[in-house]
Chains A and B, each alone.
Chain A
């Protein structure tokens, strides 16, 4: 039985994508997942690996504005597209309203699900001005949390929605 060469010698695929607003050029093995690209090649460790196979939602990022599970998305699939991770939510010193709400409601305990949860919440809040509690539950239903029982997370996202609606004022 001939041992395979180690992965360093497999063909690399060049990619050009935009990650959190920055143009990134990188070459990765074809089997690299988007999560591996973010965490291991780009050092963006905010997105988490909880299950390796798309069950837990901790790796949720936005790809061209849509939530995807980065652990079952090939990096190659992100070529030419825009990726947003939890690291993009705060602008300078200013936290996104949903980040502030999670802090103030005690909605993060161990924090491991939080980055993915926040990205699903951001997608909801970007698209819906007045989500109901059911809407919030639906939007977050792909993100498992093992600490909170969800109550305070739902409260926080609802509070953020109200806060954002007020900030928009009469527009």
Chain B
């Protein structure tokens, strides 16, 4: 019997519908920030520091201002207010005020009639520098006499240090039959989104500031623009046009957004700033280099006893999300496997390099590498199959992790089964010819961070819905579409709930004037939070519309289904009307049709210790990967032949788009495992800020990724859905590392796994073994 809670069997959810945005993408009609121009628009260029650490004695802008075509120059003194994405660690100025902290730190910005003129003017800004000693390596930054980056900061060069302990760590180690201990190094990497950051500032004479920006966090940018520039909160508008990829690299305010706003206010004209690719590398906020010491134990029958993790995090010049990074690096290795006890000690330090931040799998991809390789070593020590060792320790739904996160749904066991089967694991593991091997790894990730970045009791996400008599539905939401299919997700839910075809749905997102607040496209939160908000609003509307139709048909509302473009009587399916007719009936009876929906997270999903909220989420996704790797025995060149990736995203709302996230994640993990390094030289210069030097895989490099969806019904997610955007990246790197061990019997515990490292390790092993 149908109930009011279940309006009809799913008709749209779970289908492989095209992404509603892809039509614009394939025709070149999708207008990104740099595709927009405005009458009278000026172009801006930043002046950047050539020194890794230097005091600004003075800045002479006279020559630049005297150039024909130059309209304004701003420096740090024009915006002397600190900002930062985390309210407790704000340590950046829009333009450096007293000193520059890395090569590329912005100190001035010019606006001119075109880009070339602005570039000439930027070169004519003269900064009188007092070069200071710099610190590039994180250990050196910890030395008592190290140069201090942030002089007022009370913890020296330490952004944040976290020590937490759960259970009886030493007791559990004492009860262990085997303990593996090792050092791991994860090199920094960067996002490499194809669209360089771009922003346009527009000042309207009635006192309204509009900033159009390729940001993932329009709402947080809105707040910071208001605070830093002193424009009232209600007179700032942020518009996020379609953005050309982000991956975490556009998830906090940047210098360019403040500069175009300020220059627009100074000149009264629209101002655009487009980063060069080189500047994107300076903006960075990519994956933190981490030095990790991991100890992991198990009993003889394979019960995991204790894990002890000590991590030094190289943060670069500014805090960015670093407070969260320090917690995530420790908090997010405690599932999918049950640990008897766990201790973490994570410290993030400042260095004179581009600031690190959140990249896909923020803070947790690095320790996941160390943890999963430790597990592989432990399996080897115990003489157990690595998949079996994992199976013995999988958490159950309803269980709390050792650090007290509640796991409400978990499909990890099935993820292991699927990759084991699909890869032919049993026939391959330990049985392939020398030089070829398979490796396994597992992981989990949050479906949105449980708390907003600034403490408040308002919803994390909200939508408004408008139904009109044409049969069209419009949904408004502040979420951030950046290619992941967030707009398509909203359309899917509206279609499912109100029965309209996708073509009759308009989605308007990312405009703080027109859409209700959503906190942004980060922490894999969008489907969980905006999806739930949309589901609530749409279901509310649907309930009202069904009641009107039911009254007309003189039947109970539960018999009315809105699906497939019709309102249909479920017990007499010949009786139906077009959905637009149902909307008109409802509008005639109820007046204008609209609804709102909002979502906030449950507050009982974590422990109440200090830091227990960071890493907590309404739901967690789970992943298992098997990688097959061959190693050229003469050259050491590793080749990833194939990746099998099984991911528990709860109920996949659109399997095609979920697969896209899994494949894209595995690709990015592969890239970090084999190719990519974001490197800064000892003198502070970037090693190669270009897409030629920073080696992103091409179609020829990338291995085939076989993606598999494991369905669970999460009680919190919309229709049971969980995240898919970041989780699947975590397993890739350790799966490849473990496959290398199976192939040639050596452990490469330092990323990336280059031919040089492999050749050296294989030679050492031969010499050691005498063979």
Contact = CB atoms under 8 A, between A and B. Distances in A.
B253 interface: no
B276 A52 contact: yes
Nearest to B663: A149
A141 B700 contact: yes
B113 A112 contact: no
Contacts of A115: 28
B692 A55 contact: yes
A103 interface: yes
Interface in B5-41: 16, 18-19, 21-32, 34-35
A24 B422 CA distance: 56
Contacts of A39: 35
Nearest to B698: A141
Interface string B681-709: 00000000011100010111010110100
A31 B194 CA distance: 24
A32 B26 CA distance: 26
Contact of A146 (B16, B192, B699): B192
Interface string B67-81: 111000000000000
A145 B192 CA distance: 10
A7 B194 contact: no
A24 to B, nearest CB: 17
Contact of B28 (A51, A87, A113, A136): A87
B664 A109 contact: yes
Main secondary structure of the interface of B (DSSP, over half): loop
Interface stretch (B395-403, B536-544, B652-660, B712-720): B652-660
B26 A137 contact: no
Contact of A150 (B274, B667, B707): B667
Contacts of B667: 148-150
Interface string B234-260: 000000001111110000000000000
B663 A111 contact: no
Interface in A20-60: 39, 44-53, 55-56, 58
A110 B27 contact: no
A106 B658 CA distance: 10
Contacts of B531: none
B691 A108 contact: no
Contacts of B25: 102, 108, 110-111, 114
A8 B660 contact: no
A147 B245 contact: yes
Nearest to B707: A151
B349 interface: no
Nearest to A85: B28
Given A3-B63, A3-B67, A106 B659 contact: yes
B27 A58 contact: no
Contact of A90 (B27, B31, B657): B27
Contacts of A46: 27-29
A103 B502 CA distance: 14
Contacts of B664: 109, 146-149
A154 interface: yes
A105 B656 CA distance: 7
Contact of B244 (A44, A86, A111, A138): A111
Nearest to A53: B690
Contact of B483 (A45, A55, A110, A150): A110
Interface in B111-134: 112-114, 116-117, 120, 124
Interface residues of B, number: 69
Contacts of A52: 276-277
A51 B691 contact: yes
B242 A53 contact: no
Contacts of A50: 194-196, 244, 277, 691
B691 A56 contact: yes
Interface string A128-144: 00000000111011111
Nearest to B658: A106
A103 B26 contact: yes
B244 A108 contact: no
A106 B18 contact: yes
A44 B700 CA distance: 30
A145 B28 CA distance: 16
Interface string B38-74: 0000000000000000000000000100111100000
Instruction: Give the one of A39, A104, A108, A154 with max B CB within 10 A.
Output: A108
B718 to A, nearest CB: 20
B656 A137 contact: no
A152 interface: yes
B189 interface: no
B497 to A, nearest CB: 23
Contacts of A114: 25-26
B485 A111 contact: no
Given A53-B690, A108-B19, A152-B663, A145 B27 contact: no
A51 B27 contact: no
B702 A48 contact: no
Given A102-B26, A146-B192, A138 B483 contact: no
Contacts of A99: 26-27
B26 A108 contact: yes
B279 to A, nearest CB: 10
A131 B148 CA distance: 59
Interface string A77-89: 0000000011101
B263 interface: no
A5 B29 contact: no
A43 B105 CA distance: 33
A153 interface: yes
Contacts of A144: 194, 691, 696, 698
Contacts of B692: 53, 55
A87 B659 CA distance: 28
A110 B243 contact: yes
Contacts of B483: 109-112, 147
A37 to B, nearest CB: 14
Contacts of A5: 68
A53 B22 CA distance: 27
B18 A110 contact: no
Given A53-B277, A104-B18, A146-B192, A112 B247 contact: no
Contacts of B276: 52
B212 to A, nearest CB: 14
Nearest to A99: B26
A167 interface: no
Contacts of B702: 149-151
Nearest to A3: B67
A146 B696 contact: yes
Given A6-B69, A149-B702, 16 more contacts: A3-B124, A48-B195, A50-B244, A50-B277, A52-B276, A55-B691, A56-B691, A85-B28, A102-B26, A106-B656, A110-B25, A113-B194, A137-B699, A145-B699, A146-B245, A151-B705
12 contacts: A6-B116, A46-B27, A86-B26, A95-B27, A103-B26, A111-B25, A111-B30, A111-B483, A114-B25, A138-B700, A146-B245, A148-B664
